[in-house]
């Protein structure tokens, strides 16, 4: 399985609650360019799972509108996600050859570290950053190889809005 991890794009700083912060104009542009990057490089998942928090959901919805794949909002991807929870939940999506999750920091970096190095790798995903892990084992524990971790400036430099 190819597992893509996308951190939500830039969000407005003003909202009644942190959970309801919408994407900023910059974040909307970032999301569109990431979607086009995925399309251009044939990095199209069969399904996208997203955090229910507005900024992640809006990022995922923009990507889905370009890639035309199924979107599922899952509560376990909300900010504060535990790597162990994600690992258990991801096993139920083993029928997919390519899956994308959209979420938050430091949750996604922690998950990448757990899958690829048992938690020893220290990384940080930038907003609108994209990673790809080739999952090599699902049982007894999910393990994989980090194929890339791209900051948004790499993806956005050649993509047109």
Question: pLDDT tens across 22-32, in order?
Answer: 999 999 999 99
Question: pLDDT tens across 82-97, in order?
Answer: 999 999 999 999 999 9
What is the reported pLDDT for 161? 47
**Residue 140 per-residue DSSP state:** S
Fold of 2-8+22-137: Rossmann fold (3.40.50)
Mean pLDDT of 55-68: 97
Higher pLDDT: 15 or 49? It is 49
* pTM for this predicted structure: 0.94
Question: pLDDT tens across 34-48, in order?
Answer: 999 999 999 999 999
Domain spans, the chain: 2-8+22-137
């Amino acid at each position: 399985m190819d597992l893509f991890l996308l951190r939500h794009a830039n969000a407005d700083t003003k909202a009644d609650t942190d959970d309801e912060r919408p994407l900023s104009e910059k974040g909307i542009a970032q999301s569109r360019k990431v979607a086009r990057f995925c399309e251009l490089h044939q990095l199209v998942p069969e399904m996208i799972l997203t955090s229910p928090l507005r900024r992640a959901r809006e990022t995922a919805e923009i990507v889905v509108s370009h890639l035309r794949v199924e979107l599922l909002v899952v509560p376990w991807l909300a900010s504060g996600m535990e790597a162990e929870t994600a690992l258990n939940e991801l096993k139920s999506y083993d029928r997919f050859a390519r899956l994308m999750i959209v979420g938050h920091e430091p949750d996604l970096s922690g998950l990448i570290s757990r899958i690829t190095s048992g938690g020893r790798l220290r990384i940080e995903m930038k907003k609108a950053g994209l990673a790809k892990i080739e999952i090599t084992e699902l049982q007894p524990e999910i393990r994989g190889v980090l194929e890339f971790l791209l900051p948004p400036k790499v993806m956005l430099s050649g993509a047109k809005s």
